[in-house]
Structure 1
């Protein structure tokens, strides 16, 4: 991939696109495009920091290794999503594993180049800090949602967030599908897979979504958004707020 094509791909991210063109070109010049097959790990929990990344093609998911040996799914990342800034900024080991759920093509800025790129200029660091702050705010919302919303509302919100991410990564697709297994959704929502299946089947019967194997297409995004915001009127009728956890 030549630098101009890479610059165009990275500029799908609105924050990156808003940077000064000379700074964007400098970022492109210090990194490398890499590939990884599905199932591979970009980095693993507790590994030393090795820079920052941006997805160009494919999907990864962040997982946390728990003390009992299980893995907890944290979040998905799709094309145009940056990740790895936490360790790159505080120099502590990785706090989770980033695993490829599809074949990947990604952009990697090695740690020495990343530090040289930022220098002592807060303006240059602001883009990466903003990306980190956005994810921090989303994490706070997840914690609040676990206490304030029921299972159907939390699932609606998770799907809405994933839908917005995929739309950002694929602006040319009018109604993109989501590649999420019900097991993964259950981890993110904090309920059983059977509970997720019942909610999704109800929404499918009402015409809000279309289901296939590990694939969901939102056919009534507005209705699910109203449910995730706690609005009963116009929300899917099979499972409204208060339907249980």
Structure 2
């Protein structure tokens, strides 16, 4: 394993999916891995691109979304460390489903498509591990759709902040700071920026959050969990 990759191993082990992989698969992925650096607003890949590399966010953040009929960005989610993504195209060999762009300077771990295909051809039982990653994402998609349909705006916002802070269920720890603008959070929740700002200010006044430019800090995690459960 190259030294440039091994220094990221403690962070990668914060991903529950990666941590529970068979050791031989972990080593094979790391041996094939490459580091990618993106500048702020740089496109990683556009919707419709024919590629199947697998990625993990090591530093920074990525915006996953698309454009509406009027050419405006529609943000679906923000991927922060340590989010693994790109597995859909690995299974169906279809074009990428969304645009993925760096929210700021970002470091990625990239497992090239050719290396993945060779690994899985030699060890076909490892397909199950990638299927588990895909199933995790599918469960999240159903849960998010349910939240949009059933939850009031306040609990929906609190729940999304918790999801991001916990790596969408794949992190061993909860991060205190979420690098996300209010405008992007509003897009993810299908809320107006005014409503989002009002809800965040209320949580700040209650001592649950601390708002900073481009960043939301969780001050009282139990209180945020309570707000998400209402």
> What TM-score results when the alignment is normalised by the length of structure 1?
0.85
Distance 1:129 1:168, change over 3 A: closer
Contact 1:42 1:100 in 2 (8 A): yes
User: Structure 2: how far apart are the matches of 1:170 and 1:215?
Assistant: 21
Q: CA RMSD in A?
A: 2.2
Where in structure 2 are there 5+ consecutive unaligned residues? Answer: none
User: Structure 1: how far apart are the matches of 2:9 and 2:212?
Assistant: 35
Distance 1:208 1:8, change over 3 A: closer
Give 3-state SS (helix, strand or coil) of 2:166's partner. Answer: helix
Distance 1:50 1:122, change over 3 A: closer
Q: CA deviation at 1:54?
A: 1.0
Contact 1:65 1:96 in 2 (8 A): no
User: Structure 2: how far apart are the matches of 1:52 and 1:199?
Assistant: 36
Aligned to 2:38: 36
Aligned to 1:193: 193
Distance 1:226 1:25, change over 3 A: same
Q: In terms of Rg, which structure is larger?
A: 1
Question: Number of paired residues?
Answer: 228
Aligned to 1:70: 72
Q: Spell out, residue by residue over 1:157-199, the C-alpha distance to the aligned partner (whole angstroms, 9 max, x if none).
A: 111111112997695xx86211111111111111100001111
Give 3-state SS (helix, strand or coil) of 1:62's partner. Answer: strand
Aligned to 1:16: 18
Aligned to 1:237: none
Where in structure 1 are there 5+ consecutive unaligned residues? Answer: 231-245
Give 3-state SS (helix, strand or coil) of 2:44's partner. Answer: strand
User: Structure 2: how far apart are the matches of 1:95 and 1:223?
Assistant: 36
Correspondences of 1:74-223 after superposition (within 5 Å): 74-119=76-121, 121=123, 123-165=125-167, 171=173, 176-223=176-223
